[in-house]
Amino acid sequence: MTQLSIVGLSGNITGPSKTRALVETTLGLVAERLDARTDLFEIADFGADLGRARRFDDLSEDARAKVEALVNADALVVATPIYKGSYPGLFKHLIDLIDPFAFVHKPVLIAATGGGDRHALAVEHQLRPLFAFFEARVLATAVHLSDRDFLDGKPAAPAALARLSRAVEEFELLFPAAHRRSVAAE
């Protein structure tokens, strides 16, 4: 089996961000458990032309290559901040430029960050239907982290990290051949 490619997308438009930290932490857990190459993109990585692009071909060559990396990945980790009950418009605009059949059956771990628990269900009411439209294989365990789940800008709350770990375990079930085996100490 070739090495897996798991790409993370942080839907935040500013940095540093808790959303990026959530994706970084998730990809770190993935790399500990699976033989996988990981990459992380933020909305800003798609360039200043993203907001003006009316279709995929309007993106810069670099931005198109990043979208292709998302499309060609074996699995995705997608997290976005939640503002006023939904994801940012520029995040949705990027997703709108992607072919509707690009993510069919692709495993996607969905996650979100928000100031408090008022937005916790947005991951279910906003992100899950968005990727269901693409017929992606959205993992059963979704993750929402509030401000109180972070310490020094990094996910730190035990319950939040446990839920994130359960979500990553679903990748292990989907890609058993890539599971990293622990070597017993001699």
Distance CA 13, CA 39 (A): 18
Sequence-separated (6 or more) residues with CB below 8 Å from residue 157: 145, 148, 149, 150, 151
Q: At 179, is the pLDDT very low, low, confident or very high (cuts 50, 70, 90)?
A: confident
The residue extents of the domains of the chain are 4-179
Residue 182 has pLDDT above 80, yes or no: no
Average pLDDT estimate for 168-185: 80
- State pTM to two decimals: 0.93
Distance CA 41, CA 68 (A): 12
pLDDT in tens, 47-71: 988 999 999 999 999 999 999 999 9
CB 21 within 8 A of CB 28: no
pLDDT in tens, 14-60: 888 999 999 999 999 999 999 999 999 999 999 988 999 999 999 99
CB 11 within 8 A of CB 79: yes
Question: If phi over 0 gives left and psi between -120 and 50 gives alpha, with beta otherwise, what is residue 27?
Answer: alpha
In Å, what is the CA distance from 114 to each residue of 47, 69, 147, 151, 156? 25, 27, 7, 14, 15
- With b for 16 or more beta-carbon neighbours within 10 A and e for fewer, the 55-76 pattern comes to eeeebeeebbebbeebeebbbb
H/E stretch holding 131:
helix 128-133
- Residue 80: CB atoms within 10 A of its CB come to 30
CB 77 within 8 A of CB 27: yes
Domain 4-179: which topology? Rossmann fold (3.40.50)
Say what percent of the chain tops pLDDT 70: 96
For residue 153, give the nearest of 46, 14, 33 by alpha carbon. 14
